[in-house]
Amino acid sequence: MRMAKRIENLPPYLFVEISKKIAEKRARGEEVISFAIGDPDIPTPAHIIDRLCQAAQDPVNHRYPETDGLPELRQAVADWYQQRFGVVLHPDKEVVPLIGAKDGISHISLCFIDPGDIALVPDPGYPVYSVGTLLMGGKPYYLPLTEDNNYLPDLDSIPEDIAREAKLLWINYPNNPTGAVADLGFFNKVVEFAREYDLAVCHDGPYTEVAFDGYQPVSFMQAEGAREVGIEFHSLSKTYNMTGWRIGMAVGNAKMIDALTRVKSNLDSGIPQAIQLAAIAALRGPQDCIPEHNAIYQRRRDLVVEMLNKIGLETKPSRASLYLWVKVPEGYNSVTFATALLEQVSVVVTPGIGYGKSGEGYVRLSLTIPDAGLVKGLSRLAEWRDSKSGFRAKST
């Protein structure tokens, strides 16, 4: 058989490789502690599961759902945006439910990218932005996110001709993998930039509800004129620990929402209706699970930052997201450090280079491990550092 070039050139998804390595170790009977994947370890709240079970019993929900979802779900999303962000959305024109945000993120490129087209993509960034572009034969133009610029892209440094030629601009705050946040001032600037260069903006915002120290992230849709230039992807995955149920949404620009819905209506058959009803229960139900979960993550964040800094690994406490962005010690790059950790102490972290060239020099640690595993993993790291083969020993 002869496969398409797009498959030949497609790298395996970052976490597939990591999962394979972990499985190999575990098969050998080793206890692996993984800080690698951002997948909440806390279960979905009971009232959401109860609604799901009840809805699963109802034959009405056993049949094909509509691609654009239940009108009640679109309304629940619109109401949630109004309550949370003060943003008023038209439930039928400015909202589309997704099979997880990743569904929309990967498929929006079908709506914008013809072969040779440019998408502006943050580096480091969630791999799906560039992969979606590449699958369509497009060219990602990478926007470096650096500590000096608080991990925000420097829009003014994009060459004029690139900005003019580009069709899509990807942004993501609270950010994965850096844990950085953006304020409304930045989003306003993005809208201005998009207007000037006729760009469609895709803001990926699944972490707006995962925040610490009383900080409340903003939505891109709060920016003046945002709905004229772009959409926001959101998800119930991280907000309600629903990664396994696969449900998210895109909101904003009606033309973009319509195009995405048209593509999806030809490719998938919607979200299982029982899951849509569970999502309504999540969005309309009690929200106290959110601060409860954030308190758990915040405690873990503080614990990990303290332990890392104590063993000489530099990182700052993230104000939001599930991640810490940690500098690798001298004498290592992100891959050699992650590999050494896995081989020496069976601790898994994600090498920054996996998120793009500018991720080099960093590893990402996720806070989605129960406290006991977290302490155990970091203690192993500390022991290794102090051993003969440890990283301090190498650089001195």
Site residues (vs ligand PLP, CB under 6 A): 38, 100-102, 126, 172, 176, 204, 206, 235, 237-238, 243, 248
107 phi and psi angles, rounded to 5 deg: -85, -15
Give the C-alpha separation, 386 to 267, whole Å: 54
Q: Whole-angstrom Cα distance, residue 65 to residue 382?
A: 51
Nearest in space to 34 (alpha carbons), one of 50, 13, 18: 18
Minimum CB distance to ligand PLP, residue 206 (Å)? 5
Can you read off the two tokens belonging to residue 60? 């009405």
Of residues 101 and 324, the one with the C-beta less far from ligand PLP: 101
- Quick one: 172 or 273, whose CB is closer to ligand PLP? 172
Nearer to ligand PLP, 106 or 287 (CB): 106
Question: CA torsion, points 140, 142, 143, 147, in degrees to nearest 10?
Answer: 140
What is the smallest separation between the CB atom of 236 and ligand PLP, expressed in angstroms?
Answer: 7
Please spell the DSSP secondary structure of 21-36, one letter per residue.
HHHHHHHTT---EE--
Give the Cα-Cα-Cα angle 318, 359, 126 (nearest 5 degrees).
75
Q: Least distance from C-beta 306 to ligand PLP, angstroms?
A: 25
Instruction: Considering the complex, state which of residue 204 and residue 232 has its C-beta at the smaller distance from ligand PLP.
Output: 204
Closer Cβ to ligand PLP, 235 or 346, answer by number: 235
Least Cβ distance, residue 91 to ligand PLP (angstroms):
20
Q: Which is nearer to ligand PLP, 250 or 382 (CB)?
A: 250
362-366 β-sheet, strand order: 323-327, 362-366, 350-351
CB of 105 to ligand PLP, least distance (A): 6
Return the bridge partners of 204, or none: 172, 233
**Nearest distance from C-beta of residue 165 to ligand PLP, angstroms:** 25
Position of minimal CB gap to ligand PLP: 100
In whole angstroms, how close is the CB of 111 to ligand PLP at the nearest point? 18
Least spacing, CB of residue 129 vs ligand PLP, in Å:
9
Q: Which residue from 230, 187, 175, 200 is spatially nearest to 118, judged by alpha carbons?
A: 200
Separation CA 164–CA 158 (nearest Å): 10
Which residue, 208 or 237, has its beta carbon nearer to ligand PLP?
A: 237
Of residues 233 and 391, the one with the C-beta less far from ligand PLP: 233
Please check whether residue 313 is in contact with residue 327, taking contact to mean a CB–CB distance below 8 angstroms: yes
The minimum distance between CB 223 and ligand PLP, in angstroms, equals 19
CB of 66 to ligand PLP, least distance (A): 19
323, containing H or E segment: strand 323-327
- Give the largest Cα separation in the chain, rounded: 68
In DSSP terms, 350 is beta-bridged to 364
* Beta sheet of 95-98, edge-to-edge order: 95-98, 248-252, 230-235, 200-204, 168-172, 118-123, 139-144
Helix runs in the chain, H state only: 5-8, 14-27, 46-57, 71-85, 101-112, 128-135, 160-165, 184-197, 226-229, 254-267, 273-284, 289-310, 334-345, 371-386, 391-395
